[in-house]
Amino acid sequence: MSTDPAFVAVPAQPNDFKFDLAHGALLIIDMQRDFIEPGGFGASLGNDVSQLQAIVPTCAALLAAWRAAGGWAVHTREGHAPDLHDCPPSKRNRGSPSLRIGDVGAMGRVLVIGQPGHAIIPALAPVAGELLIDKPGKGAFYATPLGAELAQRGITQLVVMGVTTEVCVQTTLREANDRGYDCLLVEDGTASYFPDFKAATLAMITAQGGIIGWVAPAAAVIAALSAKPCR
Ligand code: C5J
């Protein structure tokens, strides 16, 4: 009898993603009020947050389907300690935003752990049993326990969604790729303030036979969650 894990084939680019829910996690990157709502960090940089708000229903639908199928989810939040010891001056001082990290804005101190703007939006709030990772950088593996937590659970595949596509999402995908994870990015479950950057990121991930991973729409993942496994 085969000892291969049972998998379903998710139609994806550049080819089918062979997916096994028992060894997979849904990784949701930085769906925080500071990036998605007016008055937060993203808006302070001059960005139009409606681009990010548009993906929330899709992300919520996939998260609900994932939970219903018995899948395990991980949520990340970008942010810093109140004394900003984990925020390099190079990060805080770059550019000329109307609010810098740690400044007081409409949703409390910008990108500071525990402040209202740092919270995950209510539509995607974690539930008991899911993992919440606070990260000081763009990548979810940098200076966090994510790698150890995934290893402890035998996770080898990541289905990824969240914001922003070319910053924290892409950095995390590249980190995961280097650590040996097979990653699928949900194309309509991720957004950028710059649509061209999103399109370029999707193309980069799937180029050269999937040099970083796979890309598929949420509907393809949702359909796979109720498909009969094969070997
Ligand atoms: C940014 C993120 N864009 N979550 N953070 O600064 O992508």
Closest residue to atom 5 of ligand 1, CA basis: 168
Whole-number Cα distances in Å, 155 to 23, 43, 59, 150, 219: 4, 35, 21, 5, 22
Q: Is the shortest distance between the CB of 168 and ligand 1 below 6 Å? A: yes
Q: What is the pLDDT of residue 231?
A: 60
Compute the distance between CA of residue 202 and CA of residue 47 in angstroms, rounded to an integer: 21
Q: How far is CA 93 from the centre of its chain?
A: 25
In DSSP terms, 215 is beta-bridged to 13, 185
For residue 29, the ligand 1 atom closest to its alpha carbon is: 4
Residue with the nearest Cα to atom 2 of ligand 1? 168
Q: Is 28 touching ligand 1 by the criterion CB < 6 Å?
A: no
Alpha carbons 160 and 27: distance in angstroms, whole number: 5
Q: What is the pLDDT along the chain (231 residues), one digit of tens a residue?
A: 445 567 899 999 999 999 999 999 999 999 999 999 998 999 989 999 999 999 999 999 999 999 999 999 999 999 999 999 999 999 999 988 889 999 999 999 999 999 999 999 999 999 999 999 999 999 999 999 999 999 999 999 999 999 999 999 999 999 999 999 999 999 999 999 999 999 999 999 999 999 999 999 999 999 999 887 776
Cα–ligand 1 centroid distance for 199 (angstroms): 16
Decide whether any atom of ligand 1 lies within 6 Å of the 163 Cβ. yes
Q: Model pTM greater than 0.75?
A: yes
